[in-house]
Copies of this chain bind each other. A is one copy, B any other.
């Protein structure tokens, strides 16, 4: 057979593949409607796991690559979650209004959209129109505080009286201060939430939300079940443990990334040339730096300034840096290798796991390279 004939076969197979994907999306839309009517969870881990297992087995039996089949199906399932989400299941009483304070910010809009798509009555109060708040909360079942970090405590302190059963929650990146303020401001059910994702997510499915209990867990339980029904993965933590972990997860990483950006901007470095010569891994590293600077300076600054122990952490990082710099300056190969091995011991078995995980990710990043679709 000629190469043209073989390529025609590929085109015909790919055409059937697209037809199947179209047919599949019709069925998942029907499943989505079915689940919404009954308030069922969109994301059912056991079903996903069974489905993948069966298809991997089929691939293996046919001598095909089960990892390829799993990757393809996971990508297809992501598409079906987001298409199912034009409407979302409701767990709570949709007639009891949800009030989003700061609902015009990016995260506030996301929260408002989730509740709206589930059919709740949603009232959005802009942070600059807090005088509308008193009227809005009189019959509210849930008040979500979604304002910039530096205004959170102040907005909470100024809240009007809420109905006794109304749930009060916030979605700030720090948890001790807002939670204390909420417990002070409201005598009813209180819970602190920290969504570990940005407003650019297309779905809550498999997204982590940290939950810091405040008061009356039974009465805010419907809210947690609601987040789970949308696919969220809840992780309960004390506010102190949360804030401690976030100093590392957020404040320190943001700080060192910003410092690297400042350093880079003062070098005679041509970013386009660096990208042209880059391996996928460096392209990704540069993307991790660059992506920060496409976002809000205020948000990142406030996360850093709210992290109580950040100056000490930075000093310790600087100490590690100076120690290594001294070894580089004195050309101390053995000393550098010894430090490297110390950290290897610390990461232990996690290091090869993270290597494998990131290697697969880099391959996916690589898939997307090359010429754009014509």
Contacts and interface: CB of A to CB of B under 8 A. Distances in A.
Interface in A1-55: 1, 3, 6-7, 9-11, 13-25, 27-28, 30-31, 34-35, 43, 45-55
Q: How many copies does the complex hold?
A: 2
Contact of A343 (B20, B54, B293): B293
Interface residues of A, number: 172
Interface string A318-341: 111111110011010100110111
Given A265-B347, A290-B353, 7 more contacts: A17-B21, A68-B76, A208-B278, A262-B342, A265-B346, A284-B358, A364-B365
Given A271-B347, A328-B304, A368 B360 contact: yes
Contacts of A304: 328, 336
A339 B262 contact: yes
A177 interface: no
A11 B54 contact: yes
Interface stretch (A137-145, A162-170, A252-260): A252-260
A29 to B, nearest CB: 10
Nearest to A271: B350
Nearest to A351: B294
A241 to B, nearest CB: 8
A21 to B, nearest CB: 6
Given A17-B17, A27-B10, A62-B22, A364 B363 contact: no
Given A316-B263, A343-B261, A21 B293 contact: no
Given A10-B27, A31-B6, A259-B317, A52 B374 contact: yes
A86 interface: no
Nearest to A77: B367
Contact of A293 (B55, B318, B347, B373): B347
A279 B20 CA distance: 33
B318 A314 contact: no
A269 interface: yes
Contacts of A291: 351, 354-355, 358-359
Interface in A145-199: 196-198
A265 B342 contact: yes
A358 B288 contact: yes
A110 interface: no
A248 B274 contact: yes
A272 B245 CA distance: 11
A9 B80 CA distance: 14
A69 B48 CA distance: 20
A288 B297 contact: no
Contacts of A3: 31, 34-35
